[in-house]
Structure 1
Amino acid sequence: MLDRRRFNMTLGAFGAALGVAPGLALAQSQPQSQSPKILKVANSAGVNDAQQAFITAGRHPKLGYYQSEGVDVEYVNMSSIAQAMQALMTEQVAFGPVAPGIFLPAAAKDPNLGLVAAYKWLPRNANVIVVKPGSPIRTAADLKGKRIGVRSQGDPGIVVTKTILLELGLDDSTNQYIAVGDGAPAGQALTQDRVDAIVTYDTGAARIEMVGVPLRYVPLPPKYAEVGSGWICVRKKTLKEDRKSLVGLFRGIAKSTLFAHTNLDQAINIHWALYPESKSKSKTEDEARKELQFILKDRKENWMRRADDTDKRIGASSVAEWASNVDTAAETSKNPRLAAEIGDVNGVFTNDLIDEVNDFDKAAVIKQAKEFKL
């Protein structure tokens, strides 16, 4: 078994985090049987704004996507995915974000870890490589040996860069990873030539652009571009003992995602109504709305399946996808035996809930979103 110290060492060894991904934690049931079960959202994004509308929209009483399932969600701040995964491992929480580069090596080291990826919330690749418009970096291969800006030393940008270079037959042994933060500080690091490129998420790059820093986007390698970005992990014990709550949670997220994608403007209104403290105090409402719409211009598409996906079910993963995740994690963790240690990838992910999660009228949700007025 991995104790807390060994688990933290494992996290440090792989140096990855899924900073923008919300982790989900199950609170204790309410004493009154008629009250919803509260599902706590461990917000590792560090920003409580409408980028989280794919979860928050369904909380509004006029929609009631979670309430109708007997559940509700509540945000709790966490510092990182490392904290969320540690809490999952020690059974302090029941849900959390999963980064394959951390999760798979940890699962290989401890077959009794008891975690499984149960819902893919970000099916498209939301990672981006950005440089100054005049940068000599034209392709992902040009990242080799460069100074790479990442949000922090526990940021997923590190593993993303390693993975990208590995796909191209290169390594990152001569790269430097420099913490640059978000928004204006990250933009300044790039414009002042303290880093050669920034590897981040779509929303992170948009926040840099929002402060007036022009960026050029470098294409991702083809194979990597097809891999999803975000999964939600649950305890296998919870999957067995509280299946109904998980189905309700993920169905609520699926409906919220569809609503927010269809009518982002109203999803922003809903988020502000539910979380008034998230509304900018230094900008007019119109300015704040335009900023959020810009930040989410790419993210809202990445919430949805690709047109060429063979499996259109919301939240579904595939064996091929997780086999690819294992291969990549074997390279980044420098463990050639990882695939053998993991064994059947069906042990690290499941689609067991997905048919039930998708058992709702999607056309009705889209229609409701188009007609909705707060």
Structure 2
Amino acid sequence: MTINNLLPLGRRRFLRLAGLGSTLTVLQTGLGAPAFAADKRLTWISPRGYVETPDDFHYRIAEKLGFFGDLKVDYLAGPQDGAASIKFVDQDKADSGSPAPGVFALGIDKGLDLAFVFAKHPVDIFSFAFRKGQSVKDPLGLVGKSILLGSIGWKPIVDAELAQIGVDPSKVTSVEAGAGWAQALAAGNGDAALVWEGLRSQWTAKGLDFDYLSLVKTSKFPANGEIVKKSALKDPAKRQLYADYVRGLAKGYAFAYANPRAAAAIVDEAFPSIAASGTPSQRTEYIVQLSNVTRGPFTDSKGWGYQDISQYQAFFDVALKIGTIAKPIDASKVVLNDLIAYANDFDHAALKTQAEAYPLPDVYRAVDIAEIRNRNPVAYL
């Protein structure tokens, strides 16, 4: 891949290319049926264009261990378009997705019928990767640089992150590099690449050794969350469907946090290609990095998935200031905690015991989980 194959993204081009018209690839089911069938089914669409990833460990856990109850969840890979989840949920082509707040804000700004109902990551998960020895020493060093992205839909993420660290997004070039954006950076293209927790360890496992400017510890922003069609919450049957779904997610997060080695082993079972990538220790570290950022300052008191409205309001205000959106967004109208109490209404102690007692394969029993956790301390215990 050469730099000529990578496309810089201006705002006009981003908005044009984020339009409808992409085709879906599907895991487990087609898209021919309505989103809500007679049986209890829910269709989820990926925010990244693929589902074969440890990022979705909580879905794999909930599915294997029956945490969704009698709800059947179908997973759509979707196009390599970060805006796919907001479009397909709004148009009833999917029931749920998990976009980043910047993408969600763009959808609300365009009048889409959406609501955040569960925080996957109540704290920031993003960082910028650099080739070894080429990292900036200060965030202001990003001015004039180019940042590689896997999808044009990720540009609102980058713009907001730049703004909160004091960098004018218009002075940084976002570049579309496709699914191999990390490899493109390693090959000498661009100056930096967007990355998130968990993916850092996977890149290392693949021999992609980068320096990082981490935003996880300094950022005030939330990250991805589960969305549904807001108006559908008025339908009691659909509301119950969503509630059962987020309870399964909450259980999946609690399980993984208690036993990340078991979570990694369950992902291995779901996707043999992942099991063949890296070592059990590296795959466990992926889960540890991501499960750490499923916890925020209110997780203990309010439960898994709780959303701090003021945190989202601050994000939306920044998005308005930098021009990602054109109109103010009232976070209290579109970030809803209505389902959180139900989601967390389970025996947490019993689930922790279940997680800790999960029978590990020999290769995972040998993983030094204490050492991994020491390298990746959680901000909110």
TM-score of the alignment, normalized to the shorter chain, above 0.5: yes
Task: Determine if the alignment matches structure 1 residue 82 to structure 2 residue 83.
Answer: yes
- Of 316, 323, 329, the residue aligned with 1:326 is 316
Which residue number corresponds to residue 144 of structure 1?
A: 143
Return 5+ residue gaps in structure 1 as ranges: 1-7, 17-21, 32-36
Check whether the contact 2:147–2:173 (CA below 8 A) recurs between aligned residues. yes
On the 8 A contact 1:14/1:102 being kept in 2, the answer is no
Q: Kindly provide the amino acid, as one letter, of the partner of residue 37 in structure 2.
A: S
Deviations 1:11-49 (A, max 9, x none): 626979xxxxx9xx9843345xxxxx1222223442413
Report what 2:159 is aligned to: 162
Q: Give 1:119's aligned residue.
A: 118
Secondary structure, in 3 states, of the residue corresponding to 2:132? coil
**Counterpart residue type for residue 239 of structure 1:** L
Counterpart in the other structure of 1:297: 288
The 5-angstrom pairing of residues 1-374 of structure 1 reads 12=15, 27-30=35-38, 37-45=40-48, 46-60=50-64, 63-67=65-69, 70-79=70-79, 80-110=81-111, 113-135=112-134, 137-154=136-153, 156=154, 158-182=155-179, 185-220=180-215, 225-241=219-235, 242-273=238-269, 275=270, 278-280=271-273, 283=276, 287-306=278-297, 311-333=301-323, 338-339=327-328, 342=329, 344-373=330-359
C-alpha deviation, 1:136, in angstroms: 5.1
- CA shift at 1:213, angstroms? 2.7
SS of 1:226's equivalent in the other structure is coil
Question: Counterpart of 1:368 in 2: which secondary structure?
Answer: helix
* Contact 2:127-2:195 within 8 A present in 1 as well: yes
State the Cα distance separating 1:117 from its structure 2 match.
0.9
Whether the aligned pair in 2 keeps the contact of 1:41 and 1:73 (CA below 8 Å) is: yes
Tell me: CA distance 1:280–1:191, structure 2 relative to 1, closer, same or farther (3 Å): closer
Q: Note the C-alpha offset of 1:351.
A: 0.7
CA distance in 2, matches of 1:168, 1:281: 34
Give 3-state SS (helix, strand or coil) of 1:66's partner.
coil
Query: Contact between 1:101 and 1:332, CA under 8 Å: does it hold in 2?
Result: no
- Tell me the CA shift for residue 72 of structure 1: 2.4
Sequence identity (%):
22
Aligned residue type for 1:162: D
Give the AA of the match of 1:268.
A
| Partner in structure 1 of residue 373 of structure 2 | none
Query: Could you report, residue by residue, the CA deviation over 1:110-168 in whole angstroms, capped at 9, with x for unpaired residues?
Result: 3xx332111111122110112233125112221111121222333x2x33332233224
| Residue identity opposite 1:51 in structure 2 | D
Q: What do you get for the CA RMSD once the two structures are aligned?
A: 3.1
Alpha carbons of 1:269 and 1:109: their partners in 2 closer, same or farther (altered >3 Å)? closer
* Superposed displacement of residue 178, structure 1: 2.5
Cα distance between partner residues in 1 of 2:324 and 2:93? 30
Task: Give the SS at the match of 2:189.
Answer: coil
One-letter identity of the residue aligned with 1:227: F
Paired positions, count = 334
Partner of 1:34: none
* CA distance in structure 1 between the partners assigned to 2:216 and 2:289 by the alignment: 18
CA distance in 2, matches of 1:146, 1:314: 37
User: Could you tell me which amino acid in structure 1 is paired with residue 78 of structure 2?
Assistant: M
SS of aligned partner of 1:149? strand
Alignment-mate amino acid for residue 59 of structure 1: E
Between 95-104 and 141-150, the greater mean CA deviation after superposition: 95-104
Equivalent-residue separation in structure 1 for 2:145 and 2:72 (angstroms): 45
**Separation (CA, whole Å) in 2 of partners of 1:329 and 1:346:** 16
Distance 1:310 1:142, change over 3 A: farther
Which is further off, 169-178 or 234-243?
Answer: 169-178
* Residues 42 and 192 of structure 1, relative CA distance in 2, 3 Å threshold: closer
Deviations 1:231-278 (A, max 9, x none): 1111123212122111111001100111122122222333344x3xx2
Letter matched to residue 343 of structure 2: V
Cα distance in structure 2, aligned partners of 1:14 and 1:281 = 31
| Structure 1 CA distance for aligned equivalents of residues 130 and 320 of structure 2 | 29
Distance 1:243 1:210 in 2: 41
> Where does structure 2 lack aligned partners over 5 or more consecutive residues?
1-10, 20-26, 361-381
CA 161–105 in structure 1, closer or farther in 2 if over 3 Å, else same: closer
Q: How many Å separate the matches in 2 of 1:96 and 1:323?
A: 20
User: For residues 167 and 230 of structure 2, what CA distance do their matches in structure 1 show?
Assistant: 37
Q: Which amino acid aligns with 2:101?
A: P
Q: Structure 1's 85 and 160: CA in aligned 2 closer, same or farther, altered over 3 A? A: closer
What TM-score comes out, normalization by structure 1 length?
0.78
Q: Is the 8 A contact 1:10 1:106 kept in 2?
A: no
